[in-house]
Structure 1
Amino acid sequence: MSIDMKKILLYIGIASALLQVGCTKDFNAINTDPKATSADLLDPNYLITSGQMAFSSQGYNLFLFSSMWAQTLASTSSLQSNYLSNPDKYVASGSTPDYQGRIWNTDYGATDQYYTGAGNLVAEAIKLTSADATKANVTAVSTIMKLMIMQQVTDVYGDVPYSQAFQGKEGITLPVYDKQQDIYNSFFTELTAAIAMLDASKTVATGDMYYKGDVAKWKKFGYSLMLRMAMRLTKIDATTAQKWAEAAAAGGTFASNADNAVLAVQNSNGHDNAQNRVYGVDIYQTKWSRTLINYLRKNNDPRLTVCAEISTDAETNGNAVAGIVDSSKQIGMPNGFDLNGSTTDISNLLTNPTYPGATTGSPIGKYSRPRYTVYANTNAPIFVLTYAETELMLAEAAARGWNVGSTAAVHYANGVMAAQTELASLGTDLTISSATATAFAAAHPLDISSTTASLKQINEQYWATTGLAFNYIESYLNWKRSDYPVLTPVVYSGNFSNGTIPRRQPYPPSEATLNTVNYNTAVGRLSGGDTWTSRIWWDAQ
Structure 2
Amino acid sequence: MRKYIGFFLASCLLLATSCDERFQEVNTDPNRPGPEVFDPNLLLPTASFGYGDLITGYTGAILFQSMWIQAFASTSTGGANYYSNGDKYVISGSTISYIQNAWITGFQTASRINQLQRLAQSRELTNLNAVGGIFRVNILSFLADIYGDIPFSEALRAEEGIMQPRYDSQADAYIGMLTMLEESVNALNPAGDPIRNDIIYGGDIEKWRRFGNSLMLKMALRLVDVDPTLAQTWSQRAIAGGVFESADDDALVPSDEANGYANSSANALNVPDDTYEVRWSKVMIDYLRANNDPRLPIVAEVPPAGLAANRNGVVVGNNDPAIQIGLPNGFDMAGGQFDITNHPDFPGATGSGSDVALIGAYSRPTFIYRDREAPVFILTYAETQLLLADAAVRGLVPGSAADYYRNGVEAAITSMGKFGGPSVSASVAANHAMTNTLDISSTEASLRMINEQIWATTSLFANFVEAWNNWKRSGYPELTPVNFPGNFSSGQIPRRQPFPASETGVNDEARNSAVARMGGDTWLTRKWWDGGN
TM-score tier after normalising by the smaller chain length:
over 0.9
Change in CA separation of 1:227 and 1:9 when aligned onto 2, cut-off 3 Å = farther
CA distance in 1, matches of 2:149, 2:3: 42
CA RMSD of aligned residues (A): 2.1
Which residue does 1:319 correspond to in 2? 312
Q: Percent identity?
A: 44
What aligned pairs does 1:35-46 form with structure 2 within 5 A after superposition?
38-46=34-42
Residue number in structure 2 paired with 1:296: 288
Q: Does 1:125 align with 2:119?
A: no
Residues 216/297 of structure 1: CA separation in 2 closer, same or farther (3 Å cut)? same
Q: Where does residue 19 of structure 2 map in the other structure? A: none
Mapped to 2, the partners of 1:14 and 1:411 lie a distance apart of 50
Alpha-carbon distance in 2 for matches of 1:490, 1:428? 33
1:508 pairs with 2:500: yes
Equivalent residue for 2:53?
A: 57
Which of 142, 146, 149 is residue 156 of structure 1 equivalent to? 146
Aligned to 1:6: 6
Q: What are the superposed Cα offsets for residues 281-335 of structure 1, whole Å, 9 maximum, x if unpaired?
A: 2110000100000111111111112211000126535433000010000000011
1:89 maps to a residue whose letter is K
Q: Does the residue aligned with 1:65 lie in a helix, a strand or coil?
A: helix
Q: 2:363 aligns with which of 368, 374, 399?
A: 368
Shift of 1:277: 1.4
| d(CA) in 1 for partners of 2:330, 2:157 | 43
**Are 1:512 and 1:520, in contact at CA under 8 Å, matched by a contact in 2?**
no
Work out the CA distance in 2 between the residues paired with 1:384 and 1:284.
27
Whole-angstrom CA distance in 1 between matches of 2:98 and 2:414: 34
* CA deviation map 1:191-233 (0-9, x unaligned): 1111111111122221321101100100110110000110111
Letter in 1 for 2:359: I
**3-state SS of 1:500 partner:** coil
CA contact (8 A) 1:100 1:507 kept: yes
CA distance in structure 2 between the partners assigned to 1:123 and 1:142 by the alignment: 7
| Pair 1:341-2:335 in alignment | yes
- 1:415 and 2:408 matched: yes
Task: Assess, with a 3 A threshold, how the Cα gap between structure 1 residues 6 and 326 changes in structure 2: closer, same or farther.
Answer: same
Shift of 1:461: 0.1
* Aligned pair partner of 2:227 in 237, 242, 249: 237
Amino acid at match of 2:93: G
Q: Letter of the aligned partner of 1:332 in structure 2?
A: G
Please give the residue correspondences for 1:459-478 in structure 2 after superposition, counting only pairs within 5 Å.
459-478=451-470
The alpha-carbon distance between structure 1 residues 78 and 179, as it changes in their structure 2 partners (threshold 3 A), is same
AA of the residue aligned to 2:454: Y
- Residues 1:178 and 1:305: Cα distance change in structure 2 (over 3 Å): same
Counterpart Cα distance in 2 of 1:407 and 1:101: 42
Q: Is the CA contact 2:302–2:324 (under 8 Å) kept in the aligned structure 1? A: yes
**In structure 2, what is the equivalent of residue 274 of structure 1?**
264
Classify the secondary structure of the residue corresponding to 2:309.
coil
User: Does 2:78 align with 1:48?
Assistant: no
Deviating more after overlay: 357-366 vs 502-511: 357-366
Counterpart Cα distance in 2 of 1:196 and 1:488:
43
**Is 1:279–1:375's contact at 8 Å kept on the other side of the alignment?**
yes
In structure 1, C-alpha distance between the alignment counterparts of 2:225 and 2:473, rounded to whole Å: 7
Structure 2 residue aligned with 1:523, among 515, 519, 523? 515
Q: Return the offset for 1:94.
A: 1.4
> Aligned to 2:240, which of 250, 275, 278?
250
Q: 1:377 aligns with which of 371, 374, 386?
A: 371
Amino acid at match of 2:288: L
Judge conservation of contact 2:388–2:397 (CA < 8 Å) in 1. no
1:353 aligns with 2:368: no
Letter of the aligned partner of 2:406 in structure 1?
A
Distance 1:160 1:3, change over 3 A: closer
Shift of 1:9: 5.8
2:377 match: secondary structure: strand
Contact 1:330 1:367 in 2 (8 A): yes
Separation of aligned partners in 1, 2:344 and 2:11: 57
Whether the 8 Å CA contact 2:496–2:525 is kept in 1: the answer is yes
Asked whether the 8 Å contact 1:177–1:519 carries over to 2, the reply is: yes
1:324-348: CA deviations, max 9, x gaps? 0100000000111111111111112
2:300 paired residue number? 308
Q: Secondary structure at the match of 1:41?
A: coil
Structure 2 CA distance, aligned partners of 1:230 and 1:382? 23
Q: 2:5 touches 2:45 (CA, 8 Å); kept in 1?
A: no
In the alignment, residue 389 of structure 1 is paired with which amino acid?
A: E
Contact 1:263–1:383 under 8 Å retained in 2: yes
- 1:60-105 deviation digits (Å, cap 9, x = unpaired): 1121111111110111111111111111110011111111011000
Deviations 1:457-495 (A, max 9, x none): 000000000101111111111111111000011111110
1:537 aligned partner: 528
Which whole-Å CA distance do the structure 1 matches of 2:3 and 2:159 have between them?
34
Residue in 2 aligned with 1:166?
Answer: 156
In 1, Cα distance between the equivalents of 2:417 and 2:192? 34
Q: Determine the structure 2 residue equivalent to 1:82.
A: 81
- Residue type at the aligned position of 2:157: Q
Structure 2 CA distance for aligned equivalents of residues 426 and 14 of structure 1: 36
CA contact (8 A) 1:24 1:34 kept: no
